[in-house]
Structure 1
């Protein structure tokens, strides 16, 4: 039996992060064991679900893709697209270094998404995210900033931890964006984030939000 305690500790410590600086320090310390202890150890299928929803909703013109909070490249690996169709963005240089070795992305950006976005390329046809909108990481206020790097009509497929979604009232931010004409109607689907049973987070849920910019 796989020892899941390391993955559990890694996840729960990540949930305790509170600032971008905390994120940088934390992921620098755990990057080299993120894929094994966390993703493999707990059976993290969240990126696969994001990729599936994207494939169901995508049209031929929904590229290039911005993968925000890309980490070590799990979403890109599930998509299996040519690297020139997807760029990755993350706050952690160490996580990006691991993603770079997998040759999944055209460009990689080390960036704090709560700060200046001007260094990111513009005109993306889609924006995806798995695991970034969660406890200790990004809140709903970031949603209103992301259309600035995408072209009108871009497809958004964004996963949000369900407890985090409800606690920070993501629904209100999305409703305001619809009301202001920034996005079309948002749909959501509920998924389990892990496929391995027997650990404390086996039943944790996420909402996958799907909408288009205007």
Structure 2
């Protein structure tokens, strides 16, 4: 099996996960080679796209940041902010271990965002996520509860794979939050997920959901 085939296989298996426990076991198993076997091989551009969307929308008050589903720290790598400005959250302790070695986060929190978020609650100025809202992972249900971990007017930049956004009915959830005055200034921008051509997922895209807590 070539390295590229290994990367595609890892991706496609991840879309078939069905429980939080599945996700923990899956990501723990290949955390040590995630950056090389998956991110580098397939040209995983998604973290950079979410980081760019944050930079485009952020003001100087939109810190500290919490990176939801931080994995091995690729969003923080791209942002290249002072360590004290960003925390990481992930369900996989092994992925957190890898990101911890990079020393790009102020603190790391092991948590399942489909459950109560008491361990994460803080006065965050921004909430970012790249790769968590997709097949086999997380649907739109936690979007409202994530508001509780951030202060008023905090910036949210949440990536959702485009086809999953449509199939999992993200839009009515977001519009409902908007109509109830929970969020404001909602914008949806399509972004590339991969920077390398020649594999089955090269053309996959995601929506960067950019909005502020009211």
TM-score by length of 1: 0.98
1:3 CA displacement: 3.2
Partner residue, 1:97: 97
Post-superposition, which runs of at least 4 consecutive aligned residues in structure 1 deviate over 4 A?
Answer: none
In the alignment, the residues of structure 2 paired with residue 63 and residue 201 of structure 1 have an alpha-carbon distance, to the nearest angstrom, of 33
1:32 CA displacement: 1.2
Q: Establish whether residue 77 from structure 1 lines up as the match of residue 77 from structure 2.
A: yes
3-state SS in 2 of match to 1:206: strand
- Please, what is the CA RMSD of the aligned residues? 0.8
Gaps of 5+ in 2: none
3-state SS in 1 of match to 2:190: strand
Deviations 1:103-125 (A, max 9, x none): 00000000011112111241100
In the alignment, the residues of structure 2 paired with residue 119 and residue 24 of structure 1 have an alpha-carbon distance, to the nearest angstrom, of 18
1:192 CA displacement: 1.3
3-state SS in 2 of match to 1:128: strand
Partner residue, 2:45: 45
In the alignment, the residues of structure 2 paired with residue 112 and residue 192 of structure 1 have an alpha-carbon distance, to the nearest angstrom, of 26
1:33 CA displacement: 1.2
1:185 CA displacement: 3.1
Question: How do 1:70-149 residues align onto structure 2 when only pairs under 5 Å count?
Answer: 70-149=70-149
In the alignment, the residues of structure 1 paired with residue 160 and residue 119 of structure 2 have an alpha-carbon distance, to the nearest angstrom, of 25
In the alignment, the residues of structure 2 paired with residue 147 and residue 52 of structure 1 have an alpha-carbon distance, to the nearest angstrom, of 21
1:191 CA displacement: 1.3
1:144 CA displacement: 0.8
Equivalenced residue count is 213
Deviations 1:63-92 (A, max 9, x none): 000100000000000000011000000000
In the alignment, the residues of structure 2 paired with residue 176 and residue 185 of structure 1 have an alpha-carbon distance, to the nearest angstrom, of 14
In the alignment, the residues of structure 1 paired with residue 149 and residue 190 of structure 2 have an alpha-carbon distance, to the nearest angstrom, of 27
3-state SS in 2 of match to 1:26: helix
Question: How do 1:1-214 residues align onto structure 2 when only pairs under 5 Å count?
Answer: 3-214=3-214
Gaps of 5+ in 1: none
In the alignment, the residues of structure 2 paired with residue 52 and residue 12 of structure 1 have an alpha-carbon distance, to the nearest angstrom, of 26
In the alignment, the residues of structure 2 paired with residue 121 and residue 180 of structure 1 have an alpha-carbon distance, to the nearest angstrom, of 22
TM-score by length of 2: 0.98
3-state SS in 1 of match to 2:177: helix
1:30 CA displacement: 1.1
3-state SS in 2 of match to 1:185: strand
